[in-house]
């Protein structure tokens, strides 16, 4: 999983702030990409000028963090751009539809409000901004542009104000917690230090018309670590031929207790509601937490037809932290990993 986070801002006036941001991103499991740090994941390209190298690093990053404080930065006229490096990096992120965390110092945002109220004049003497009028105009237009984008899509573009570096780091932790969780879980997964709840069909109960109405599923933690607060969800079914959903199922989420220890299978019953025809499928989700407080939800597909009942792993995994609602997290592909499936025959 790509955990590279490009940090875009002026450098010399924010040298201490950038150092804190770099350290903080590492502490939450992310790889900071910063042009002024020899210890970051910034990739150098000798044949390119500095701005082209920065734009290349924007392209290979997962998220982009933009920080604006007192300065806009010098215009890169010698490279043919009437904008600063930060502005160009921001525009490159937008062009590539990268998620952007846009952070503005509260005092700068106050000056921005004054600019809008005074007909966008740049020569009235602002309390915080330390730039010449042309750069003030470009910086405020940049903020205004991002405000419009937040209103259009607030799920991948954010605008937050900060007062201190502590505020800024709290915002970064909140905005980047999904990608950070994915990075940490990826490392734990590589070492085998995660629970892994596997579902298998162990049987089913038929109704009077010989159709399965209750599927018996065995849930076993085959990982090395305990699974906390394990729950099994079954979602509305749909006809495999018409793709039309036929309404919700009757069962509530099945709770498997506080802790599911390794190699201790438990059986659950999933109610599927019978229909006049076969060939219906359901999405089954095994949700559980790790000891570190991360939420994992593995997705399965349950199908019953004339051939029998099958439960197969879809290859999709929802990840997040315990304070995020499942379904709102980023979808992490497990690279085609397979888990055992069960099969039952109709009599």
Rounded Cα–Cα distance for residues 169 and 32 (Å) = 13
83 neighbors 73 (Cβ within 8 angstroms): no
Alpha-carbon dihedral of residues 290, 168, 26, 6, nearest 10 degrees? 110
Q: Are strands 4-8 and 294-305 parallel, antiparallel or unpaired?
A: unpaired
Look at residue 295 in the predicted model and tell me its pLDDT. Answer: 84
Q: Judge contact between 262 and 224, C-beta under 8 A.
A: yes
Q: Which of 37, 10, 12 is nearest to 23 (CA)?
A: 37
Judged by average pLDDT, the poorest of 51-60, 122-131, 193-202, 237-246 is 237-246
Would you state the structure tokens that stand for residue 290, as one six-digit string? 């790790």
Q: For residue 150, give the DSSP letter.
A: H
DSSP state of 192: T
The label of the residue with tokens 């602002």 reads: 126
240 Rama sector, left if φ>0, alpha if ψ -120 to 50, beta otherwise:
alpha
List every span in the chain annotated with CATH 2.60.40.10.
193-344
Proportion of the chain above pLDDT 70, given as a percent? 80
For the chain, residues classed under CATH 3.40.50.10140 are 4-175
Q: Write out pLDDT tens, residues 177-236.
A: 878 877 777 777 778 888 989 999 888 777 666 665 788 889 999 988 999 989 888 876
Contact of 290 with 296, CB cutoff 8 Å = yes
**Type and span of the H or E element at 107:** helix 106-117
Under a CB-based contact definition with an 8 Å cutoff, are residues 258 and 216 in contact? Answer: no
| Residue 172, H or E segment | helix 165-175
Q: What is the 8-class DSSP label of residue 164?
A: S
pLDDT tens across 27-58, in order?
Answer: 888 999 999 888 888 888 775 788 999 999 99
CATH topology assigned to domain 4-175: Rossmann fold (3.40.50)
pLDDT of residue 174: 87
272 pLDDT more than 70: no
Q: 193-344 has which CATH code? A: 2.60.40.10
Report yes or no: 193 and 218 within 8 Å, Cβ to Cβ. Answer: no
């Amino acid at each position: 999983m790509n955990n590279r986070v490009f940090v875009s801002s002026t450098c010399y006036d924010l040298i201490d702030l950038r150092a804190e941001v770099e350290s903080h991103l590492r502490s939450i499991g992310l790889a900071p990409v910063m042009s002024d740090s020899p210890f970051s994941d910034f990739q150098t390209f000798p044949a390119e000028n500095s701005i082209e190298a920065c734009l290349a690093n924007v392209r290979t990053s997962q998220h982009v963090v933009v920080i604006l404080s007192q300065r806009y930065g010098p215009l890169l006229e010698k490279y043919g751009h009437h904008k600063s490096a930060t502005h160009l990096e921001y525009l490159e992120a937008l062009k590539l539809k990268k998620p952007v965390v846009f952070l503005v110092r509260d005092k700068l945002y106050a000056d921005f409000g004054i600019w809008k109220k005074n007909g966008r004049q740049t020569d009235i003497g602002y309390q915080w901004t330390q730039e010449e009028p042309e750069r003030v105009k470009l910086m405020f237009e940049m903020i205004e542009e991002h405000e419009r984008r937040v209103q259009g899509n607030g799920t991948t573009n954010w605008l937050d104000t900060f007062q201190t570096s502590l505020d800024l780091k709290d915002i970064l932790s909140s905005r980047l917690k999904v990608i950070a969780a994915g990075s940490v879980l990826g490392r734990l997964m590589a070492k085998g230090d995660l629970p892994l709840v596997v579902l298998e069909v162990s049987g089913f109960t038929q109704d009077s018309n010989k159709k399965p109405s209750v599927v018996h599923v065995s849930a076993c933690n085959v990982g090395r670590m305990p699974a906390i607060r394990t729950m099994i969800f079954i979602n509305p079914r749909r006809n495999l031929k018409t793709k039309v959903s036929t309404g919700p199922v009757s069962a509530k989420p099945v709770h498997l207790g506080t802790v599911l220890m390794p190699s201790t299978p438990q059986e659950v019953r999933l109610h599927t509601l019978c229909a006049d025809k076969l060939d219906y499928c359901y999405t089954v989700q095994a949700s559980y937490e790790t000891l570190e407080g991360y939420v994992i939800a593995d997705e399965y597909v349950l199908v019953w037809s004339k051939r029998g009942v099958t439960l197969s792993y879809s290859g999709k995994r929802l990840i997040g932290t315990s304070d995020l609602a499942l379904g709102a997290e980023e979808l992490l592909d497990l690279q085609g990993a397979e888990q055992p499936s069960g099969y039952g025959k109709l009599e």
